[in-house]
Structure 1
Amino acid sequence: MPNNKHPETKSPGAGAASTLVMSEPAHGQYMRPSNLHELLTFLDRGSASVLAGGTDLVVMRAEGMVDRAYDIVDIKDVSELRGISLSADGTITIGAATCLRELAKTTVIAPNAITDGAALVGGWQTRARGTIGGNICRASPAGDTLAGVLATNAQLELVSRTSTRVVPGQEFFTGPGRTIREPNELLTRIIVPVSPGGSAYQRFTYRNAMDLAVVGVAAYVEIEDGRCVAARVALSASAATPVLAPDAGNALVGTELDEASIAAAAQLVLNTATPIDDGRGTRAHRRTVLPAIARRAIGIALERALGGHQR
């Protein structure tokens, strides 16, 4: 797209022959492919921003955090990127362009740490437009669905015009706002193994809605013969990326998940947490509330593992 030009303005000095030409910053083209092949072809051409819900991208472009010269590739018409399904082999597949509101309210799968997080992102307007793939690729350390991706052992499918790769969720995030996704790749699916356990996500905020997590914890537990045989605990807003807290998860295994065992394991999240001071809270406050949030998440995960499906 050619640059828009301001009218010519004479340079200082009456009668000067030269002129100054003022121009707006370059703006990329807007493209709205109707299928995945066309979409990937657009991404392969060069620098582009993927537009799904736009709840972050629109603001980031307006504030100059994203180069406005990048093309915008709108993926909303690509139907194969949406939907939630449960396959016969026991795999949950979530299309990356599935909106958070649909994911939060789904009855296709049981409530879990990812659906819990989807129900907490922003307000209902944000959830109606924002997508699970956008929340993941934004890679905010405080993203509400990210710890759930780790706790549920989800994998992320990245597709380009020439290749497909599936990566573990815990390897996807490399820093605040950074992931291993290449510019010509698209996150297409979140793949969650169905397991006999239960998972949950809880967070601490100062408001009930329209807020980012001060801290968040996702937990997964699996019970067999009255004892925990597998567990994972993941943290958000507690490090530069969402992180697994292995000491906490390992401490749950072999216990009956009684109140004392859960409290002891929850305290061990502090072995992993490296929070910072920022506008939402201090490092000290985050470390104070993390064990309490972990106890709550583990308790709800246990209820779900036992069949209660508590929300």
Structure 2
Amino acid sequence: MRQWLRRQFNGAYERMLRRELGGGPAHVAIIQDGNRRYARRRGDEAPDGHKEGAKTAEQVLHWCEEFGVEELTLYTFSTENFDRPQEELEPLFDLIEEKLYEFADAERVHEAGVRICTIGETDRLPPRVREAIEYAESRTRGYDGFCLNIALAYGGRAELLGAVRDVARDVTSGTLSPDDVTVEEIDSRLCQHPTRDVDLIIRTGGAERTSNFLPWHANGNEAAVYFCAPYWPEFSKVDFLRGLRTYESREKSWQRTRTERAVALVRSVAETELAEARAVTARLREKLPSAGAEEVAAELERQGDTEAAD
């Protein structure tokens, strides 16, 4: 009876969350934390937790397709993970290898046009894992329906450091001018990177930190972040929807802030020159959501009425 009630409640709650959602994020990045703790709590070994976590990853792919997410990045193995005991690493490398081949050969992957990419210092991985990476990437290279990035031997600082060193070498040699070091130039030096900026980071397992994950593509885009308590193998569709809702709440707040700043700018300019205010308003209306544009236009009219009265 208790399980039936829980299913009914979760179903109703999921429907409520669906109704609250509008336009979701294009790129979601997930830190899959809690596999080992999940296994320990059940009296199992770490590899058992990783296997259960792999099942969750497959479910998340379905949810992304269902809710219009176009790109997913999974933080699967960090550079710090190399410090784990060898008896834990070998089964984990076996699982990664197995899943790469499985994903690359899955019929639904090819039907949906999923492109599999890896990011990180993959040359540090065992040869068998590197071979599986090459197989998965080559099998899906021509697809553009959905992008699945798998972060393996990944560290955000190391990624940025490599790009900066590359730029420094070219500036020193004279092949690159310091004035030409732009955002686009740095982005091009990140040899393996997502195709778009990150909109939402989700971290499971209860920790509230982003752990050096995609600093260039997430922090630069001011990505929303959703921390949740369930261990990765327990991560549910409701948890995923909560993450999407967090993104939408942050997006609405951000748009409101932009609108308020735009209104303040119009007021300031209108105090000195109404014609200039109209020109500024025209530019701002192109960059604001429709509701914000209407508010800016209304403020301009108020300023015009005030000036006419004076």
TM-score, normalisation: structure 2: 0.23
| Structure with larger Rg | 2
Which structure features the higher share of strand residues? Answer: 1
Which structure features the higher share of helix residues? Answer: 2
